[in-house]
């Protein structure tokens, strides 16, 4: 009887341990940041410092705007105002690279 009790306890512990290991393994390969709802209002272009697109594995396609205060806000990439801000930021980043290249080569 005692031998059967030990086997049942051991099997239960093994099952719990393996389920925890599988759960931690599965969550380590998912995206770090996803958007689950979008900010409902338009943001000022001057308040946005940077942007990044969410991972393709996320349930919704989104853009994370980094604001001057350091806060990240999820926005809808299909909105025209979001596209304009992204285009402006990309243009500014390209100018920064071009200017630094010119400065370095002189």
The distance from CA 81 to its chain's CA centroid, rounded to whole angstroms, is 21
* Cβ atoms within 10 Å of 73's Cβ, excluding its own: 18
pLDDT of residue 39: 96
* CATH number of this structure's domain 32-105, picked from the four choices 3.80.10.10, 3.30.2130.30, 1.10.10.10, 2.40.50.40: 2.40.50.40
Q: Tell which residue, 31, 39, 29, has the closest CA to residue 66.
A: 39
Q: How many Cα atoms within 13 Å fall on the side-chain side of residue 55?
A: 9
pLDDT in tens, the chain (106 residues): 566 677 767 766 566 556 555 555 545 566 788 999 999 999 999 999 999 999 999 999 999 999 998 999 999 999 999 999 999 999 888 877 555 444 444 4
pTM (2 d.p.): 0.61
The distance from CA 6 to its chain's CA centroid, rounded to whole angstroms, is 45
């Amino acid at each position: 009887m005692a031998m059967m009790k030990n086997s049942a306890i051991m099997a239960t512990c093994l099952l719990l341990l393996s389920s925890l290991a599988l759960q931690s393994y599965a969550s380590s390969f998912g995206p770090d940041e996803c958007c689950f709802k979008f900010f409902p209002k338009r943001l000022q272009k001057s308040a946005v410092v940077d942007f990044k697109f969410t991972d393709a594995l996320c349930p919704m396609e989104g853009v994370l705007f980094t604001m001057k205060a350091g806060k990240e806000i999820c926005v809808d990439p299909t909105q025209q105002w979001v596209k304009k801000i992204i285009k402006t930021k990309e243009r500014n980043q390209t100018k920064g690279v071009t200017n630094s290249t010119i400065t370095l080569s002189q």
